[in-house]
Structure 1
Amino acid sequence: MADFPAVARQPHSAYWRSLGDKAVASPNERLVLDLIWRRRAASRADLVRATGLTAQSIMRLVDELIERQLLRMGDPLPRGGRGKPSPAIEIAPDFAYTVGVSIGTDSVSTALIDMGGKVLQQTYVAVRDFDANGLVTLLRKQINDYVRKYKLREERLFGVGVGITGFFVGDGARVNPPLPLERLALIDLETLLTRELALPVWLDNDGTVAAVGESLLGAGRWAANFVYLYFSHGLGGGVVVDGRVVRGSHGNAGEVAAMLPMQKLERPTLEQLRSMLEDDGIAFPDIGEMLASFDPNWLACDRWTRQARRALSLIASAAAALIDPDAIVFGGRIPYPLAQRLIDEITIDNLARRGRGRPEPRLVPAEAPSDTAAIGAALLPFKECLFG
């Protein structure tokens, strides 16, 4: 692979721009690419109506993006009435590929996707107590395996997105993860991985990257504004406003567990559920093993749901008041039946006036494919440079 120089935390757009116009899209190009990506296909007339740009501007933008191989012409779109069908304009999926990485307390999962959003392969490796050297060795192997298996050309591998559980501290480049990831704590992991993998790397917390995945592949298709709750070893999340993920001043927007009063309400986490199961004599070494054997009929699920009700009702009420979102999405590693059970228990504080309360967000299980953090991480390079 090419020897890419190390880069600091935020300037990837400038870095890619230095590689040439093919790597970064202008604001109007982003608008067009994002619309086509979400719709899967569109005509020039569709783009004129959706963007408000002139037909001449759309024709020029589309022609240039086709010439740069980011778009391609597809089969004619069906249409009602008379007249010749318009050719479909589509994302060119083989323009670029990215690898997404999700670093959890008990595992590392990776995903390879093309620019059309198709997940070509996902790989899950159960690991515990690993350090930066072990992580680099594992990721090199995974990336090289993907390159060989799919015969990827070097210049088509756009970059690597990484999601890790924890929050950012200091200059926003160092993650403070839970205790099981002690040996990755407070390291400038993005710069280290960029250097060691010889590829540009985007790093964010797992809740934010999962929200990116949900915005492009799940509820974000109908909800421009949503709060994403990420259930795993801890409780995190992400915030999407007008289709774009909000990171905040320090990269910690969406840290929903911080809303809970200390010492008064326990954080409803999957690690807490694992502990409750252990009290019932059902022991698992980690969350991954628990989820692999998940049974919605476990008595601990009922106790966990009842105990989580107050905390999650508080978080949902605060999110509804602060963000006024279309939806609150229950995702991360939580199984769908358990997410639905939580949703049925939650109440949003909404004092009526003149017999009417505020419009409330929909509470929904995550709609994006499983392992959203790895897929969302894979989408980070595209989101940064080309979409949205």
Structure 2
Amino acid sequence: MKYDPLDYIAPHFLRGSQPPRVASRNERDLLRLIWKSPGIERSDLSEPLDLTQQSLHRIIARLHDRGMVAFTSSDARRPGPPSPKLSLCKDWCLTLGISVNVGSIGLCLMGFGEPLEKMEVPQVGSSLSSEMDRIEAGIANLLARRGAKRQDILGVGLAVSGHHMPDTAFNCPVPLAHWSLIDLAPLLGKQLGLPVWVDNVARTAALAEAIFGVGREVANFAYISHLHGYGGGLISGGMPFRGNFRNAGEFSVLFGHQDYGDRPALGLLIEHLRMKSRPNLTLRDLKSEDVSTWDGVQEWIERVAPAHNLAINAICAVFDPALIVLGGELPPSLAKMLIERTEINNLPRHGVLRDEPRLAVAEVLDAPGAIGAALIPLFETIL
């Protein structure tokens, strides 16, 4: 039987209806409005939700009784009875985000839409069971920091580097071969005793940027994820666009075998710089440094600029976003160098140029894939 994480949500999170669910459609619309505008007054919710005052008050009272929404007194001076301010109770539920990248596994503990704790555990060797054990130990560490228990967790988002395959399997880069072609959600779900949703790590990083980063400003943007490999995610209407096979944003598909070595993939940069007197260089070293003046970096930028521009122009032609974000584990110094080398094909017609997207450096730099993964259980059940 196909794995469905909704079947494994703890009963104390459910609203007691059939079929079992955490929140109704109206409740989810309401909770998302409160989440995006904490402190909003109850009287300001009727119009955007198109609910009668009676229905609105009833839904809010039910959410308050469940401990999901908190009331505070309004300081507004207006005619009529006072309307309380509403905010989410951050401790009503926790979610976990796990991002599996080459060299590192990021963990994020989130409290009802607000990141609380982050940590990283090493991704080494080729044993899936040992890496899952390290993930479980890291989760125990995060929970201990907050004085929380596993039953406080609504669900887990698992983000994996690689092409999405049927069910919850991925086809990962060679260093992550032991994560490949395995139905991961039921396997990790059984180990943790929690419901697990899966997605591509570049897409969850894009989601983190949409909620907490520069993507807050726009509804439609593309996120280029520079990791060991080269991929990305598309945000449409503020939410991830996955495509028919859940692989929208796999920008490496733009390049044939003969061009694959010239992509702006950080694994290739590492190889290049190791030959330039940095034999022990890792992705972590790149991320924590201003590498713009390093020997070999300018040479690499020149080498990958054509591939970078091909990807930028393909995104413009197919998706037409307002914004293109350069992120993943790309150091901001390198992102700025690539932005400076960007050439968008924009020939004037009748003396007029078409509108172009803005290019920006990602703002969510620490564990973006894990942060976005921790949001998935919320968007699938509550928000």
1:345 matched to 2:341? The reply is: yes
User: CA 1:91–1:262 in structure 2 vs 1: closer, same or farther (change >3 Å)?
Assistant: same
CA contact (8 A) 1:112 1:121 kept: yes
1:72 matched to 2:78? The reply is: no
Q: Deviations over 1:318-373 (max 9, x none)?
A: 21222222211111111122212212221222233233233222211112352101
1:334 alignment partner AA: L
Deviation at 1:12, TM superposition (A): 3.0
Which is worse superposed, 81-90 or 55-64? 81-90
The CA distance in 2 between the partners of 1:83 and 1:336, in whole Å, is: 52
Percent of paired sites with the same residue: 32
The CA distance in 1 between the partners of 2:365 and 2:283, in whole Å, is: 19
2:5 alignment partner AA: H
Deviation at 1:53, TM superposition (A): 4.2
Match of 1:4 in 2: none
For 1:152, what is the secondary structure of its paired residue? coil
The CA distance in 2 between the partners of 1:158 and 1:386, in whole Å, is: 10
For 1:309, what is the secondary structure of its paired residue? helix
The CA distance in 2 between the partners of 1:58 and 1:313, in whole Å, is: 50
Match of 1:37 in 2: 35
1:363 matched to 2:363? The reply is: no
The CA distance in 1 between the partners of 2:228 and 2:75, in whole Å, is: 46
Match of 1:114 in 2: 111
Match of 2:132 in 1: 136
The CA distance in 1 between the partners of 2:177 and 2:305, in whole Å, is: 31
Deviation at 1:260, TM superposition (A): 2.8
CA contact (8 A) 1:13 1:24 kept: no
Match of 1:211 in 2: 206
For 2:233, what is the secondary structure of its paired residue? strand
Match of 1:232 among 216, 227, 236: 227
Q: Which runs of 5+ in 2 are unaligned?
A: none
Which is worse superposed, 351-360 or 86-95? 351-360
1:192 matched to 2:187? The reply is: yes
Match of 1:58 in 2: 56
The CA distance in 2 between the partners of 1:345 and 1:253, in whole Å, is: 25
CA contact (8 A) 1:44 1:55 kept: no
The CA distance in 1 between the partners of 2:365 and 2:76, in whole Å, is: 28
CA contact (8 A) 2:10 2:154 kept: no
User: CA 1:221–1:29 in structure 2 vs 1: closer, same or farther (change >3 Å)?
Assistant: farther
Match of 1:270 in 2: 266
Deviation at 1:303, TM superposition (A): 2.1
The CA distance in 2 between the partners of 1:190 and 1:329, in whole Å, is: 29
CA contact (8 A) 1:38 1:216 kept: no
Q: Which runs of 5+ in 1 are unaligned?
A: 1-6
CA contact (8 A) 2:9 2:195 kept: no
CA contact (8 A) 1:97 1:112 kept: yes
Q: Deviations over 1:116-154 (max 9, x none)?
A: 41x222111233223221122112211222333322244
The CA distance in 1 between the partners of 2:93 and 2:322, in whole Å, is: 32
The CA distance in 2 between the partners of 1:356 and 1:13, in whole Å, is: 52
2:353 alignment partner AA: G
Match of 1:87 in 2: 84
2:309 alignment partner AA: S
The CA distance in 2 between the partners of 1:218 and 1:264, in whole Å, is: 32
The CA distance in 2 between the partners of 1:46 and 1:335, in whole Å, is: 42
The CA distance in 1 between the partners of 2:310 and 2:294, in whole Å, is: 26
CA contact (8 A) 1:129 1:181 kept: no
1:107 alignment partner AA: S
1:377 matched to 2:373? The reply is: yes
The CA distance in 1 between the partners of 2:299 and 2:325, in whole Å, is: 22
Match of 1:48 in 2: 46
The CA distance in 2 between the partners of 1:338 and 1:78, in whole Å, is: 48
Which is worse superposed, 91-100 or 344-353? 344-353
2:44 alignment partner AA: D
Match of 2:197 among 188, 202, 205: 202
The CA distance in 2 between the partners of 1:77 and 1:237, in whole Å, is: 44
For 2:203, what is the secondary structure of its paired residue? helix
CA contact (8 A) 2:8 2:194 kept: no
* TM-score where L is the length of structure 1: 0.88
For 2:85, what is the secondary structure of its paired residue? strand
Which is worse superposed, 146-155 or 202-211? 146-155
1:21 matched to 2:19? The reply is: no
Q: Deviations over 1:238-290 (max 9, x none)?
A: 11111121222222111011123441462111112112212221222532244
* TM-score where L is the length of structure 2: 0.89
For 1:298, what is the secondary structure of its paired residue? coil
Deviation at 1:57, TM superposition (A): 4.0
User: CA 1:43–1:344 in structure 2 vs 1: closer, same or farther (change >3 Å)?
Assistant: farther
The CA distance in 2 between the partners of 1:323 and 1:78, in whole Å, is: 43
